[in-house]
Chains A and B, each alone.
Chain A
Amino acid sequence: MSEEKQPVKSIVTPSRLEYDFTPGIATTRFLRHMQEGRIVGQRCTKCAKVYIPARGSCPRCGVATEEEVEVGPNGTVTTFCVVRVPSENIDLTLPYTAAHILLDGADIPFFALIQECDAADVRMGMRVEAVWAPEAEWGPTFENIRYFRPIDEPDVPFEDFKEHL
């Protein structure tokens, strides 16, 4: 037996937990609409803001939301990030652009990929449209939308979306 024992500097304790995720009533409806090829948000009865994907409440007013509103499929880039660093599990040609997209009719942007466009050409206020996967592949998931691409429309002035960054 060795006289000089080395101190234990670390141990490995594996842990794994599995969960069944419950999206909730509002988000379940959103996902079902996605399966039908529609992007549907919910409007607050008090402040009239439209949330997508809906989670069943207006975070501003703290009231339940029920009224459904179809939004998009076109939208506006409110802000974006050009990615030049490769990541594990992301099989995209560098550089690529991740953007916040405000769909027409919605009051909250969400995160999506911009493709069919040079990263250098992406700008705040740029108009884009959703590019969907083939209908046969649609499921109850946001992944039905593969990415957004530019459309031939004039840029939206900053003043018109500055509340939605």
Chain B
Amino acid sequence: MRDVAVVSFAQTKNVRRENRRNEVEMLIPVVQEAVEKSGIPKQEIGFYCSGSSDYLAGQSFSFVMAVDSLGAWPPIAESHVEMDGAWALYEAWIKIQCGEADSALIFSFGRSSPGMIRETLTLQLDPYTLAPLGADPVCLAALQARALLESSDYSEREMAEVAARSRADAKSNPYAQLTGDFDVDELLAEPYFVSPLRKHDCPPISDGATAMVIAADDVARNASKRPAWIRGIDHRVESHQLGLRDLAQSTSTALAGEKAGAVDIDVAELHAPFSHQELILRDALKLGDGVKINPSGGALAANSVMVAGLTRIGEAANAIWNGNARRALGHATSGPCLQQNLVCVLEGE
């Protein structure tokens, strides 16, 4: 295995509605920032991979148009996943492991504001039995939260505590969207949005973009003072059929964490768009009280779809770079109710 490290990360501020710039105009500054911070000359970057979904902006082949932000001349090696950018990172990591590149730029973009995200994400369900029900992601997350509350000692209070802590921590994150100090008792006095979820248990609707550069071996050592080495990266998927899963647990996260070596973690950035999902993920990864969870505020503070997962890994790398962690974990999820999960363990030297 080659040693591969995250050497730079850049992101836009997450906003409710980016209705001025198009995707390319959003991407150009973050791509340029990631390349500059990486210390690797742009013409030496060996591979490009993006994560996005055409369904968000309603534009077919929007991922091809996004290549306009890269400067693809002389010709570049480029790929795309119709998934969160975290899976684009996985593809780029494989590419480097195969010896086909020594560095890669990963980018992702997601604007939920052009459409109705609850309707859009409903179309990712099985089209025969689930999508026609119109079960949108908030309703499905509510079913999952109910399954967790009924089968564990967790209560709505712990969910509200996750929301309050996330938004308070997000105050120091200039890229976050939903921040502030909230009183847990006051949150619990709010009406249900989709029972047992209240508004605070749900993520904001966000538009945003990110870019990251990773590099292998000496390319990373020469480019970066403190590379965030990827010590393990693994992703696992569960059944598309929600009825075949125990929604109160995340066996795919547990397995991915085990394979990625998720132990001795100082900081964990968990991609939990709904408050109860953080509780499920913490348990799946056996993260104890000593682990700082989501110092960035996590997806409850900014949830650009297709972006928020890669952002978690970028924020985990930030924790290495700013000295807050020796070992940090970045997690990304995809699909309804934590269907697919990726765990990436980073370590500073």
Question: Using a CB–CB distance below 8 Å, which chain A residues touch chain B?
Answer: 11, 13, 15, 17-27, 55-64
Contact = CB atoms under 8 A, between A and B. Distances in A.
A13 B127 contact: yes
B71 A20 contact: no
A56 B31 CA distance: 14
Interface string B37-57: 000001000000000000101
A61 B119 contact: no
What 3 pairs across the A-B complex have the smallest Cβ distances?
A: A62-B71, A24-B22, A19-B58
A60 B71 contact: yes
Contacts of A21: 57-59, 114
A15 to B, nearest CB: 6
B58 A17 contact: yes
Give the contact-size bracket for chain B: 35 or more
Interface of B: 18-25, 28, 31-32, 42, 55, 57-59, 65, 67-73, 111, 113-116, 119-120, 123, 127-128, 131-132
A78 B127 CA distance: 44
B57 A19 contact: yes
B55 A17 contact: yes
A13 B67 CA distance: 33
A17 B119 contact: yes
Contact of B132 (A13, A56, A59, A62): A13
B22 A22 contact: yes
Contacts of A19: 57-58, 114-115
A58 B19 CA distance: 21
Contact of A64 (B28, B127, B128): B28
A98 B120 CA distance: 35
Contacts of A59: 67-68, 70-73
Nearest to B207: A22
A11 B72 CA distance: 43
Given A17-B58, A17-B115, A62-B31, A55 B22 contact: yes
Contact of B114 (A22, A56, A62, A63): A22
Given A17-B55, A17-B120, A19-B57, A25 B25 contact: yes
Given A22-B22, A60-B71, 10 more contacts: A13-B131, A22-B111, A25-B20, A55-B24, A56-B25, A59-B67, A60-B73, A62-B28, A62-B69, A63-B28
Given A13-B128, A61-B73, A62-B31, A20 B68 contact: no
Contacts of B55: 17
B57 A55 contact: no
B58 A57 contact: no
